[in-house]
Structure formats: C-alpha cells, structure tokens
Amino acid sequence: DAGVTQSPTHLIKTRGQHVTLRCSPISGHKSVSWYQQVLGQGPQFIFQYYEKEERGRGNFPDRFSARQFPNYSSELNVNALLLGDSALYLCASSPGFNQPQHFGDGTRLSIL
Amino acid sequence: KQEVTQIPAALSVPEGENLVLNCSFTDSAIYNLQWFRQDPGKGLTSLLLIQSSQREQTSGRLNASLDKSSGRSTLYIAASQPGDSATYLCAVEFSGGGADGLTFGKGTHLIIQP
C-alpha cells in the first residue's frame, strides 16, 4: 500500500509569493494533519482536518490556510511568504482520532 | 504551556548495547504518546503509540513505557544496530479530537557505532 505522498518534494520561492503544498493520505485514512519543522527542532502543529472539517489549528498566522477534499487529500496554502517560512512541511494521516499518525517525506520549502 | 522535553539531545553508543531514550511532558492529562524516528532529510516513521490507559507497548527490539503521574516516557532499544542511527522524536497528544495536534520534543540524535 502507498504511504502518505506529498508534492512537490522541493520548492524555492521569494518573499511575498504564495505557495500551495499537496498531500495524499494513506487509502482509508480520513484525518490529515500539517506540521512545520525547522532545522534542529521537532515538528510544530499547523492544522488537522477530519472528514473535510477543520478540527484543530496551531499557533500560526492567518497567512496559513488549508482544506481537505472529498477524496481526503489536502492542500496547505501560505500567502505573503517570509524568510522564516523556510522549513520542511510535513503531512500526516490517520484513520481517525487516537490512532497512530503516519507521515510523508515532506516538502522542503526555501524562501529567498 | 504544554511542553515535551527529550534528554539527551545526542547519544553515541557502540553496536550491541541496550539503551534508553527519555521523554518528559508537562501535563499528566494526556490523550496518547507516540514515538517516531526520523532519518536525515526524511519524514517521520511511527514506532509505537501508547494510549493514556496503557503502561507500555512493544515492537520487536523496541519497548516504550508511559508513566503519566510522573510525566515521563522511555524508549528502550535492545541490542542496538548501526541501522538504528536516526533522530528519535517523542510526541504527545494532550487533548483528543485533533484540537491541538501532536506536541513534539526536539528529539534525541542517536548514533550507533559499528
């Protein structure tokens, strides 16, 4: 079975631009979460979606938004990019609540 | 503020040794705790999930324990191998329903010397 897939794998943007990151969960998983990981730190929670509804939001500015589609795939959007948004963005899926979360390999975003 | 701390930050041991990684958290009312490993430039691989009602979980050479009253978890790795070299992350879900997601420690960078 395919794991969590994320695209693109790498992305380079300049300050002020907009970016969209995509995630396909493991088949049968209805929950998708997004995390930001900067070098040397553990991942930080951004959003969780379950059954296409936002269930949780971390301490990130309104420039960050996300959505989940009927097929349970998800997009993370970031507007007005800042240098500090440079990070590895990770997507995780799980069948539901209180279940192990399975992560993709992430999208490496670099802001110039 | 709910926090997760991992000690030590880095550890280097010879192949074959048994070792223990530590994780502490600030709030005993947790929902679950999960251990992950992360290889350089990669995503996270789930190792073990311990529900709040459980005391330990085992998978192969790995054993994770949970003591909510003291706010601690340990990951025990038996008979370590060079392939175990990675960063190990502890993550706590403090509230159910996905409201706060997982709160991660900064990880323990483990090197197993051949």
Question: Which of B36, B42, B93 faces A105 most closely, judged by CB atoms?
Answer: B42
Amino acid at A97: F
- Residue B56, phi then psi, degrees to nearest 5: -160, 160
Residue A25 is classified by DSSP as P
Look at residue B59 and tell me whether its pLDDT is greater than 90: yes
Q: Distance (Å, rounded) from C-alpha A12 to C-alpha A40?
A: 20
- Mean pLDDT over B34-55 rounds to 94
Q: Are B27 and B19 in contact (CB under 8 A)?
A: no
Q: Do A48 and B96 touch (CB under 8 A)?
A: no
- At B98-109, the pLDDT tens digits run 788 999 999 999
pLDDT band at A106 (very low <50, low <70, confident <90, very high): very high
pLDDT for residue B41: 85
Judge: B42–A101 Cβ closer than 8 Å, yes or no.
Answer: no
What SS3 state is found at B2? coil
- Cα-Cα-Cα-Cα torsion B100, B106, B110, B111, nearest 10 degrees, comes to 130
